[in-house]
Structures are given as C-alpha cells and as structure tokens.
Structure 1
Amino acid sequence: MSSSSTSTPTITSLATPKQVHSAVNMVLDTAYQGIDAAAWKALFSEARASKLEQFIADMFAGKHINQSEDRPALHSALRNLSKTPVLIDGQDVMPAVTQVWQRIEALCNQWVGVTDVIHIGIGGSDFGPRLAIEALAHVPGIQSRGMRMHFLANIDTAELGRILATAKPHSTRVIIVSKSFTTLETTMNAKAIVAWLKESGCTQSQIAHTLYAVTANVAGAKAFGVEQDQIFPFWDWVGGRYSVWSAVGLPIALQYGFAAFEDFLAGAHAMDLHFQHAPLEENLPVIMALTLLYQQEQHDIKAYAAIPYADALDWFPKWLQQLDMESNGKSVGRDGKPVKHSSPVVFGSAGSNAQHSYFQLFHQGTEIIPIDFIAVRQPMSDRPEAVAHHRILLSNCLAQAQALANGKDAENPNDIYPGKRPSNLLLLPELNAFYLGALLALYENRAATLGALWNINSFDQPGVEYGKVLAKPIEKALASHQITIQASADIDAVTAARINLFNS
C-alpha cells in the first residue's frame, strides 16, 4: 500500500463490490471511503500479515493478550448468553458470570418504592451505563420503573450538589462502582453521599441497606460499610472501559428490567459471534478498522468523528472517546518499540446539531477528517410528527455524506467544497437495547482490531497513572494554604507558581 499523503481517494459508486456489508441486521456502507478493489485486497493482506485472525481467536479463548498486565481481555464472556464454557487458565468463568446475572435479576425484583439511584463511578464505571440509560430512555414504549437515575463521576461538587438537591434520602439507593475500590473521585463522592444520608436522619442500618458496590475488592467494599450480599463481583480480566456488560450495568436492569439488560447483552453477543467467525472480508469490525487504517496510511489523518443521527446517542461519542483513545492512544507497541500509527483524536455529537457546529471544518478545512455517520431507520418517538421529522433527519445525514464526498466547484473560492472527504454509513434497523448492545460491541471489537493492526496493547492504560501520582503532593501543597511553595522533585517551578497563585 502507498503511504503517500498527497493522493486523494476516488469516490466510487454504490454498485462497486465490497462496499455494502451487513451483520446482526446492521448495514455498513463504505462507498465513500474511496477504497478500490486493489486497495481492499492489500488491506486484507496487511490484516492477515498482522496475524489478526489468530489475535481474534486468542482473545475469545482467554489467552493473556493483555501482556503488560499478564491477563486476558475477556469482556465478551460477560455477554456470552449461550453459556458456552470460557476458560481462563483452565477454569470456566461462565458459572460465576451466570451467578451475577441471577443476582441482578433478583435485585430487580426486590427494589420497591425506590425514587432515586445514585450511581457513583468514573471513566469506564460511568460512561457505559450513563450512555445506555440515556439512549434507552428514548425508545418508544419502553417499560421503565421511572426512578431518577443519577450519575456521579466528577469530584467537582457541582455535580454532587445538583443530585442531592432533588434526591430523597430515605428512598435512595447508592451503587458504588470501582474495580479497585480505591479510585479517589469515587471514594470521596461515596463518603460525601454517606455523610448526606446521616445528615438527613438515616440510621446506620438504613445506610447499610442503601449501599451497594460493584468491585473486585470485596474486602475494601465491606470495610467501607457495604454488606456482603450487596457487593457484586468484578474480575481483573475485565477492563473498566469494557465493563458495562458486568454488574456495572446494573442501572440498565434496574430501570428498564432484566429482560432489557438481557437484550442489551444479546445484541453484543451476536456481534461477538459475527466478529469471531465471519471471514475478514465480511467482518464489520475488521472492515471499519481497515477503513481508518487506510485513511491513516493514505492521508496521515489525526482525527475522526462519530456522528449519530439520533439524539438518543448523543452520549455515544463520549463513550467512544474513552474506548478508542484510552485503548489505543499509545506510542509504544506490544514489542516495546515505537509504533507507526495509534488512535486518532475522536470527537462527535448528535446530528443534525453537529452540522451547525463543526461541519464547516469537515467541508472546507485543510484537514481530512473521516466520519462515521450512524443512522437509525425508525423514528425515536411516537409523536405524530415523528415520521416527517425523521425523514428530514435522515436526508441531512445522507446529504452531508454526499457533499463531503463529491464537493462542489464554484468561481468564488469561498464557495468551493473540495470533496473527497471519506465517510462510513452505519445503519441500525432501530434503536433498542439489542441494537445498542450490538453497536457498542461493534466498536469495542473494532478497537481491538485496530490495536492488533497497530501492534498496540488495547487493554492497559499506563498513561493515566502518572498525573494521579503527581496530584498527591500538589494537593498537599494546596492544603497548606502557603504562598511560598518552592519547586521540588515532585513540583516543577511553573506548577509551584500556580499553587502559590491559588493559595494567595
């Protein structure tokens, strides 16, 4: 394949083979990527040369593909509704996973009279369930228990204050989600919630009845005051950003019923089976990964956008940012050597709102920014005007892709659209729990594919730790209220001056 950064894609017709693919009733159209048959052949050869098929098999077999942490990346087991044995070091994990499903279903039947649920967690403990709760709230006719579902992630007390202004302490339940049960933001917010419950007149036994935990550190949760039978396990072979399929997704089942949670898992499981067994040439996660790789190799792209033409999916790009950039935002490969490519910057928001924001850059900016247009066939409301509105929404989605691909000539330079801007169209038949699960699993498997193609470990995140270490001496210096902080081994001169500025 050419690595030239000056060539431009030739936009081919929809009739060209290998441009429209489907899986799990979802359709992927790559016609506007500008990839011809010869380039596709080279891409699939490159994928096979990277031993992608073996990597996929190893991932689902529970091999220790997370080399730096010497553990599997087996979040697919959390949605393995077929209960086919999944072995880690010779031990089947499915009985433990099944037991958690049973406990989640039982809890759904136990909660009566709950008005508020406060889900405390950050990063992967927050984005997935928050996205699902928001997206499914828009499904016409969905059965909901109508609880106020609050997500508390930020250490900024503005979020805490907003939640506590409306929550009713005596009918609130609290879910503390932390794999290690040592995450600073989560533990501090949990302590603040317990203090609020005490201030509101809740007894110690009532508080114990209120608290639930999802964690791998059962001892830590018990020490905090969570009862043993209200702790849901988390395993070290599940990365935080891949954890919504575990008990981290409790809010989904509690709000919309266990059947909806099962549908969510079923959609993801169906996509996993496709990813695991489909030939590379028909494999949606692989094809999507290869379109991005192609644009990197041809145009050295540094960013891409995900634009869902569904307001219910407005949180999807935020979830995707963590998935892609935390998984693959690395400069060193699995072999310890520098890599040629890694994750581009990911951004996006719901269309058609996004058209009135940054689409100017897409059409006439100097950078080529590939786009994933995500559309849903069916309207997301049962309003009388829903069909007409949805038709306009979809026409905007299709028009933007066409304009970006084909461009427009004009005598006035300001009116020229260069065109040849690549995009995918991903079409969901409808948006419900099943297809939401399939969508998220599609992108999870694409992220893993990209990691394999780039020779990157997609399942660790060492880059997020250093700043946490540095924050500790800085917080201590801020707490001192001194305006004479000097530079040290832990605090450089610029930061010392800024601490003094805050303390003055």
Structure 2
Amino acid sequence: MDITQTQSWRELEALTGRMRNTHLRDLFATDPARAKRYSLELPSFLLDYSKNLVDDGVFVNLLQLAREAEVERWRDRMFSGVPINRTEGRPVLHPALRGSVAGEVSWNGEAVAAAVEAELHRLKGFVNLLHNGGLSGCTGKPVTDVVNLGVGGSHLGPQMVIEALREFRKGGVDVHFVSNVDGAQLTDVLQRLDPETTLFLVSSKTFSTLETLTNAQSALEWLQPLGAREELLRRHFVAVTASPERARAFGIEADKTFRFWDWVGGRFSVWSAIGLPVAIAVGFDGFRALLDGAAEMDRHFQQAPLEENAPVLMALLSVWYCTFMGYPAHAVLPYDQALHMLPAYLQQAEMESNGKSTTRAGEEAAYATGPLIWGQLGINGQHAFYQYLHQSPAIVPADFVGSVAPGHELEGHHEILLANMLAQSQALMNGVSREEVVAELTSRGLDQAEVAAMAPFKVHRGSRPSNTILMKKLTPHSLGALIALYEHKIFVQGVILQIYSFDQWGVELGKGLAAALQPKLESGDLREEDASTARLIEYYRQAKAGAAKAEFAG
C-alpha cells in the first residue's frame, strides 16, 4: 500500500492550508476544555499536547492515517519477535531487555526473555562485586574508576542516563566516558586517573569499531608499566558486545565479557549490558527501576487505544508538522539540568532511525520522513536561540520537558525554572499582536510616529506549537518511561511513513570510506580520489611534513 494514496492522507493535505491560517489563541478561545481534552496523565508524567496546531478534524484524520498504516499490527509484530528490520533480517526486540516480550519469543533457537534475564543476573553479580571492593587491578588495589570506551549508542545512552540520575548515585566507583578517537579526550580523562585502580569497559556491538578499539589499545599502553598484556587485559578490561568471540580474540576473558544481541540497535541498547555503566553509577536496583519505567511505557503503548496512546499521539504530531505542514525541524528543550544530554540522545535516536529517503517498497519517498532534532537546556537556550523560535519566519515545533519536584534542596530556584518553562511555551503559543504592542508603547508615552516606527520589531506572531511533558519527579523509573516514550514515538513515525527505522546504512557508508582513506594519509596514493579529497590529503601530508622538519631543525 502507498500511504499517500489513502483517504486520510489526502484529507490531511487539504487541511494544512486552514491550519496555517488558524491561530492557537483562537483554538483555545473556542474550546474552553481544550487543555483537558488534549492532555494525558500517565503514572510518571503529564503530557500536555494542547498547544498544537490541530483540531478534532485534523486528529480524526491523523488517527485514521495511523490505522491505515497498520500501526497496531506493526506494533504487535515488533513485540512478538517478527523480523521487522527487513534490510538486516532481524527482529527489533529492545523491549525484551526490560521484560516486555513474552517468554515464548525466540530468535536463532534462543529464548529471548530467558537469555536477557540470565545476562542481567550476571550484571548484578558484577556490579555488587565491584561496589563491595571485590574487583582489583594488577597491584591488588580495588577499582575506584571505570572508563567506558564506546561511541554512538555504546556511550550516548549510558552517559545521558548517568548525567540525568546524578541524584541517585551509589557506591564509591566513578564512571567516565571516552567516545572520540581524537586522543585529546582520552588523554584528558586518563591524566586524572590512577592506572592501578582503573577498569576499562570496551563497549562495541560488533567489537570491530575502529574508534573504540583504537582507544582500547591506547588504554592498554597506558597501563603497560603495571604488567604483562595478558594480565592487564584480565584485571583491567571488561567487554560489552554482541560479538563475544571478537572480544576473546582481543584478549578479554569470557567471564569479563557481557553480552547483548544483534536484535538490539545501538541507539536502543541502554537497557542491555551496554547500560553496565548505569548500573555501576546508580546501583543494580536503580538500573532495574530504569527498566521497570520503560516496561510501564511498553504496556501503555501496547494497551492504550490510539487516541489515548502517548507515543502514538506524539508521532502523529511529528508527522503532521514535518510531512504535511512542512516544518523540517523540532526542538527538545529540557528545563532540568540533569537532562542536559537529552536533546543529543534524542537527536541520535530519531535522526539515525528515520533519516531515510527510501520506503519499505524500495522507492524514493515523495515526502519528508523525519525532522531535524536539536535543542539544549531551556534556560540556556532562552539566551541563545529562542529569538529564532519566537520571531523567525521558520516555525519550529518544540517539546518542553520539566519536573514538579526538583533534584536539589535550594529554595526558590525550581519555581523560577518552571515559571520560565511555562512562560516560554505560553509566549510561543500566544505571541504579541500589533494591537497589543501599540497599546503597550502608547502607555509608555511614545507619540504616534515613535509607536509606528517601533511596533513592527516587537510583534511576535505566536501560534508556535509545542508539547509539554511535566514529570512528577526525575527518577530512574520516570526516566525509563520518558526514554521509552520517545522510542515508541520514533517507531510509530517510521511505520506511518513506511520506512525501515532500525537500519543505519548511512552510518556504515562513512565508516567504510574512512577505513579506505586512513592508509592514504600516509601513503599518498590518491589516484582514485576526487579532486577535493586529494587536495585535502595533500595539504595534510605537506603540513605534517613541514611541522616535522621544523621540529627536527629546532
């Protein structure tokens, strides 16, 4: 089925003109119950989606579009282990990592739920041993610091979660992250640590990621004065991978290798052994609470009717804006310092999933498939790019994320923070009309000429849409629910737009090209390269040679 040929698609295309000419103020004025009707209260948070450029007519057709796209059938297929990741021939079973897949589901002859629980049991034993001082380095000193070496999903998820849950830290072991192959990051982290008490987690799904293995080799060299390679790998290295045989070939022993599976996409892997840094930072019970919060959202996604289903509603709004209304970007604006990495995490999760132009039928998509995701902490953004959100000709829908209870005990701060969040969403919605600007300037005593000259610059058109997610409190449980909310939103978007959300061939392309170009930085054999790349490599080689010559002469 071509989704663009459905009745609901054509109806939605016809509705865009009317909604572009409708102001959010008017939608609220004509429907006093709008805020209540267009909101959902879930166990962990309130989702207010009333400040969106939609009415009942739009929603009826969006929901019908979801049904015509067979969102419910695709959802059930995912949870039942059908290999919906067709281009890689795999199921999509990250919900199984939090216990949301039935026990009879299996893949490659292995019972999925049982395998997940067995690995969680191993993780729990390792974390408890580490927290109790039972893990030591080559010299017998207990481990005090853990460095996670990974990139992409193997670092961004765990780091975001740990930053978000700093209030819940347990144990005396500090966790650090190195993702960049730029040696400056690894150098900066290592210079603050003691080799005798440092443990490295090498986190890589394939255990072939060049950046991660390069950092692991440099870490091994940093430890070298402590002993032989085999002993260093045995006492100072742990692997997290879906390719345990490659970890073993590297030299990391089986009892220090934690497994996840090829049916887990990297950007959805924080629930797996990739989340080991999280379990170390907040304790295994805290990690379990994170999984339980996500499982709660899984149940909501599976059981709630489409019109009361938070991930479905958020996905429909995203499709409405990006695909139909032509708004190509979406801002994520957390008003909670602990969530400062959430925009980057969601940027990877959504853009790596739905940044595609080929439909499931193998044809070029005739429509926009996913927005550019960007953002940062709300308070900082107010003094940076909110000017663009308020008065640019471009309209950028936004998600505001905050919490009722603060993660600190300082008086007065949280009320100021929340007041700013609510004020910004209100200002984006209402704007300031020319009449209001004229009245305000006139009340200040300006004459008519001054008012006429100044008024155009102070007009804010408003009618800028947004969602607000107000959590009761940021905890491991509520954070798990929040992340799973966005995961399922991304899934629904992909289903409606008829693309495969769980492959990442664009990422693989760059990896392959980099591997081919790396030796040419030394060899200079540029016969097959385009003129620009050849010129850049030549410049690099000449500048490097010149620097080396100058250093030798000095």
TM-score, length-normalised on structure 2? 0.86
The answer on 1:27 being equivalent to 2:46 is yes
The answer on 1:500 being equivalent to 2:538 is yes
Give the SS at the match of 1:69: coil
Question: Is the 1:213–1:232 contact (alpha carbons within 8 Å) kept by the matching residues of 2?
Answer: yes
The answer on 1:123 being equivalent to 2:152 is yes
Give the drift of 1:240.
0.5
Give the SS at the match of 1:213: strand
| Per-residue CA distance 1:246-276 (angstroms, 9 max, x = gap) | 0000011112111000000000000001101
Q: CA RMSD in A?
A: 1.7
- Paired residues in the alignment total 493
1:404 pairs, out of 428, 441, 466, with 428
Match of 1:415 in 2: 458
Which moves more between the two structures, 87-96 or 368-377? 87-96
Give the drift of 1:2.
3.6
Give the drift of 1:217.
1.2
Where do residues 31-46 of structure 1 align in structure 2 (5 Å cutoff)? 31-46=50-65
Identity of aligned residues (%): 40
Where do residues 255-334 of structure 1 align in structure 2 (5 Å cutoff)? 255-334=281-360
Match of 1:197 in 2: 223
| Per-residue CA distance 1:214-262 (angstroms, 9 max, x = gap) | 1111111011110111111121111110100000000111121110000
1:229 pairs, out of 232, 255, 258, with 255
Match of 2:205 in 1: 179
Where do residues 67-216 of structure 1 align in structure 2 (5 Å cutoff)? 67-80=86-99, 84-88=103-107, 91-111=110-130, 112=133, 113-137=142-166, 139=167, 142-201=168-227, 204-216=230-242
Give the SS at the match of 2:364: coil
| Residue type of the alignment partner of 2:476 | A
Which moves more between the two structures, 94-103 or 200-209? 200-209
Question: Is the 2:147–2:199 contact (alpha carbons within 8 Å) kept by the matching residues of 1?
Answer: yes
Give the drift of 1:131.
0.5
| Residue type of the alignment partner of 1:189 | N
Query: Tell me, which stretches of 5 or more residues in structure 2 are unaligned?
Result: 1-10, 134-141, 439-454, 543-554
Closer, same or farther: CA 433–85 of 1 in aligned 2, 3 Å:
farther
**Counterparts of 2:340 and 2:377, CA distance in 1:** 5
Question: Is the 1:152–1:159 contact (alpha carbons within 8 Å) kept by the matching residues of 2?
Answer: yes
1:382 pairs, out of 379, 385, 409, with 409
**Counterparts of 1:24 and 1:146, CA distance in 2:** 32
Match of 1:48 in 2: 67
**Counterparts of 2:375 and 2:59, CA distance in 1:** 27
Give the drift of 1:83.
6.9
Give the SS at the match of 1:478: helix
The answer on 1:370 being equivalent to 2:391 is no
Give the SS at the match of 1:68: coil
**Counterparts of 1:295 and 1:81, CA distance in 2:** 31
Question: Is the 1:169–1:197 contact (alpha carbons within 8 Å) kept by the matching residues of 2?
Answer: yes
Bigger helix share: 2
Give the SS at the match of 1:367: coil
Closer, same or farther: CA 473–84 of 1 in aligned 2, 3 Å:
closer
Question: Is the 2:403–2:474 contact (alpha carbons within 8 Å) kept by the matching residues of 1?
Answer: yes
Closer, same or farther: CA 145–364 of 1 in aligned 2, 3 Å:
same
Give the drift of 1:81.
6.7
1:468 pairs, out of 511, 525, 538, with 511
Which moves more between the two structures, 405-414 or 458-467? 405-414
**Counterparts of 1:218 and 1:332, CA distance in 2:** 33
| Per-residue CA distance 1:394-416 (angstroms, 9 max, x = gap) | 11111101111111023521101
The answer on 1:10 being equivalent to 2:23 is yes
Give the SS at the match of 2:334: strand
Match of 2:137 in 1: none
Question: Is the 1:487–1:493 contact (alpha carbons within 8 Å) kept by the matching residues of 2?
Answer: no
**Counterparts of 1:9 and 1:378, CA distance in 2:** 35
Give the drift of 1:90.
7.0
Give the drift of 1:144.
1.6
Give the drift of 1:44.
0.3
